[in-house]
Amino acid sequence: MPHTYEYPRAALTVDCVVFGFDGGELQALLIRRGLAPFKDKWALPGGFVRVEETLDDAARRELEEETGLREVFLEQLYTFGSVKRDPRERVVSVAYFALVKPGAVTAATDAAEAKWFSVSDLPSLAFDHVDILTTALTRLRGKLTYQPIGFELLPPKFTLTQLQRLYEAVLGEPLDKRNFRKKALSYDLLIALKEKHQDGPHRPAQLFRFDPVKYERLKKKGFLFEI
Amino acid sequence: MPHTYEYPRAALTVDCVVFGFDGGELQALLIRRGLAPFKDKWALPGGFVRVEETLDDAARRELEEETGLREVFLEQLYTFGSVKRDPRERVVSVAYFALVKPGAVTAATDAAEAKWFSVSDLPSLAFDHVDILTTALTRLRGKLTYQPIGFELLPPKFTLTQLQRLYEAVLGEPLDKRNFRKKALSYDLLIALKEKHQDGPHRPAQLFRFDPVKYERLKKKGFLFEI
DNA sequence: CCAAAAGTGTTGAAACTACACCCATGG
DNA sequence: CCATGGGTGTAGTTTCAACACTTTTGG
């Protein structure tokens, strides 16, 4: 392809902050780098954007190549463009954040090592990936309080207690059980299933699923899901 | 500079959506393109990112070169990466949005023609700049309701009625005067000045200024300015 | 004295917070 | 029968929305 503007160009990458939830703590998926620079360090999954693919496509492709993940919630986060963020040369990175349901990372991980880390106990990261991760965390916290995206981190069928634990893990503070349940149900976006969730020597819990159709309808009318 | 990765690269630009307020309508600053493609069409101020400057620096530089604006409120918006958004070749653009106070665009505009347009009456724009502008508008509306950034669009000294007109123009709906004033003053971020604003055959209005120091203190404690 | 915008309080409704006990199950 | 988490209601407080008249000025 001919370059119309013959100036030196920055390289363009995408990096993905992948969040998961194990029922107790919020987690981030990292991969161990096999190549220099930062060989053997942990880093966000990501890589170079090809000239003939969109940024979203690049993020999805890299995510699948490096972690096996497909069809996940993915959203552009911020573009990081410090001059020295890559020691080799100028690299601008468009960061994404992804939310995945438990058990999604079963697929082969392309020989690369991929591993979940609790966000409260992260290893040291390559490049400026801590900054990216911190930005993603802030965004997730903000978003969770006004958009119903928590469901992307839970199995398709979940109990209200699981939902509450997720909110508590992300927001970092305990929530009142009765108030939380009232609020969560008040939007009429949770459908009670016939099934129950049995999980030990105690009363089984009602299972729910999220109603994405009703949510889309509400969203169009300018709607806020606040909890 | 040596390229470590010898693949074809996208070119990288910044584009700025500059908002202003004339007291009645929300406005956007556009420049008329002097070069192909889209010669003579209106477009967002912007241009190519140099390898040795950050994205923020590039946005500020282009803004000054093309509109004479300096020291304005500037924030990264979103990165646009459709493959065909520039007819010549692959160009990825990091969009910014800027808020400027009335009278700021007095400086020489680098021979290029720069002009304010009411956002409700825009000309047809080059590239995908309508999409960028629409995204910026949505962001501005959202942000205005939970962060005190309206002051960036008003003169340093302003009346509560001016502030209300601004909110009404951006949100596109009339607001109740008494409720608005109560809310606006409740955060204790507006400092009443000794001066009044005289503007016709009627009672003069109290002038206020925004208190950025107090705001920074509040922001650290996780604070929401909602109106 | 008239026109025009500035300024000001109250009330009923709705939402929010805090809080404690009974229920269903498995072992 | 006991241990464990599931499930529910209310009262006091705060916030929100709706609404109309008086004040100050210039002409």
* Residue B227 counted as domain residue: no
Let me know whether A108 and A214 are in one domain.
no
Amino acid letter for position A38: F
Question: For chain A, what percent of residues have pLDDT higher than 90?
Answer: 83
Q: Cβ of B4 and A88 within 8 Å?
A: yes
Let me know whether B106 and B213 are in one domain.
no
Let me know whether A119 and A92 are in one domain.
yes
Let me know whether A117 and A184 are in one domain.
no
pLDDT tens, residue by residue, B93-117 = 999 999 999 988 765 555 568 999 9
pLDDT tens, residue by residue, B137-159 = 999 999 998 899 999 999 999 99
Q: What is the CATH number of the domain that holds A42?
A: 3.90.79.10
For residue A49, which residues of chain B lie inside 8 Å, CB to CB? Answer: 10, 81, 92
Whether B39 shows a pLDDT value over 60: the answer reads yes
Provide the domain limits for residue B176: 149-219
> Which nt is closest to the CA of B178, judged by C1'?
C8
pLDDT of residue B219: 78
Q: How many Cα neighbours within 13 Å face the side chain of B155?
A: 13
pLDDT tens, residue by residue, B165-183 = 999 999 999 999 999 999 9
How high is the mean pLDDT of chain B?
92
A11-21 and A91-99 strand pairing: parallel
Whether A107 shows a pLDDT value over 60: the answer reads no
Rounded Cα distance between A74 and A14, Å, is: 12
Asked if residue B99 lies in contact with residue B57, where contact means CB atoms within 8 angstroms, the answer is: no
Closest residue by Cα to residue A115 from A16, A27, A24, A23:
A27
Whether A77 shows a pLDDT value over 50: the answer reads yes
Whether A108 shows a pLDDT value over 70: the answer reads no
Let me know whether B51 and B26 are in one domain.
yes
* Interacting residues of A175 by C-beta distance below 8 A, sequence separation 6+: A164, A167, A168
pLDDT of residue B218: 80
More confident residue, B32 or B224: B32
pLDDT of residue B221: 67
Q: How many CB atoms sit inside 10 A of residue B109's CB?
A: 18
**Long-range contacts formed by B71-74: CB under 8 A, 24+ apart:** B72/B18, B72/B98, B72/B99, B72/B100, B72/B104, B72/B152, B73/B98, B73/B99, B73/B100, B73/B149, B73/B152, B74/B16, B74/B98
Our separate counts of H helices and E strands in chain A read 5, 9
B11-21 and B46-48 strand pairing: antiparallel
Let me know whether B120 and B157 are in one domain.
no
Rounded Cα distance between B109 and B67, Å, is: 5
pLDDT tens, residue by residue, A38-48 = 999 999 999 99
Q: What is the CATH number of the domain that holds A182?
A: 1.10.10.10
Confidence of residue A110 (pLDDT cuts 50, 70, 90): low
β partners of residue B191: B209
Let me know whether A31 and A129 are in one domain.
yes
pLDDT of residue B44: 98
pLDDT of residue A165: 97
For residue B79, which residues of chain A lie inside 8 Å, CB to CB? Answer: 55, 76, 79, 94
Confidence of residue A223 (pLDDT cuts 50, 70, 90): low
Q: Which of residues B93, B125, B144 is at a domain's end?
A: B144
Question: For chain B, what percent of residues have pLDDT higher than 90?
Answer: 83
Q: Which of residues B101, B120, B144 is at a domain's end?
A: B144
Q: Cβ of A89 and B8 within 8 Å?
A: no
Q: What is the DSSP letter of A50?
A: P
Let me know whether B103 and B154 are in one domain.
no
Q: Which two tokens stand for residue B68?
A: 């004479």
Rounded Cα distance between B89 and B163, Å, is: 44
Mean pLDDT on A92-101: 98
Q: Measure Cα distances from A157 to A107, A210, A212 in Å.
A: 22, 8, 13
Confidence of residue B36 (pLDDT cuts 50, 70, 90): confident
What residues in chain A have their Cβ under 8 A from chain B's Cβ atoms?
1-5, 7-12, 48-56, 76, 78-79, 81-83, 88-90, 92, 94
* Residue B174 counted as domain residue: yes
Mean pLDDT on A58-80: 96
* Residue B79 counted as domain residue: yes
Report pTM. Answer: 0.94
Please tell me whether residue A173 adopts helix, strand or coil conformation: coil
pLDDT of residue B224: 60
Mean pLDDT on A179-208: 94
Could you write out the three-class secondary structure of chain B?
CCCCCCCCCCEEEEEEEEEEECCCCEEEEEEECCCCCCCCCEECCEEECCCCCCHHHHHHHHHHHHHCCCCCEEEEEEEECCCCCCCCCCEEEEEEEEECCCCCCCCCCCCCCEEEEECCCCCCECCCHHHHHHHHHHHHHHHHCCCCCHHHHCCCCECHHHHHHHHHHHHCCCCCHHHHHHHHHHCCCEEEEEEEECCCCCCCEEEEEECHHHHHHHHHCCCCCCC
Asked if residue B192 lies in contact with residue B208, where contact means CB atoms within 8 angstroms, the answer is: yes
* Interacting residues of A167 by C-beta distance below 8 A, sequence separation 6+: A144, A150, A175, A180, A227
Domain count, chain B: 2
Let me know whether B24 and B133 are in one domain.
yes
Active site residues of A: 113
β partners of residue B20: B27
Mean pLDDT on B65-91: 96
Q: How far is the CA of B58 from the C1' of D27 (A)?
A: 53
Task: Enumerate the nucleotides of strand D whose atoms come under 7 Å of any protein CB.
Answer: 2-10, 16-20, 23-27
Whether A11 shows a pLDDT value over 60: the answer reads yes
Question: For chain B, what percent of residues have pLDDT higher than 70?
Answer: 91
pLDDT of residue B73: 97
Q: Which of residues A144, A159, A178 is at a domain's end?
A: A144
pLDDT tens, residue by residue, A131-145 = 999 999 999 999 998
User: Which residue from A7, A12, A90 is facing B10, i.e. has the nearest CB?
Assistant: A12
pLDDT tens, residue by residue, B80-92 = 999 999 999 999 9
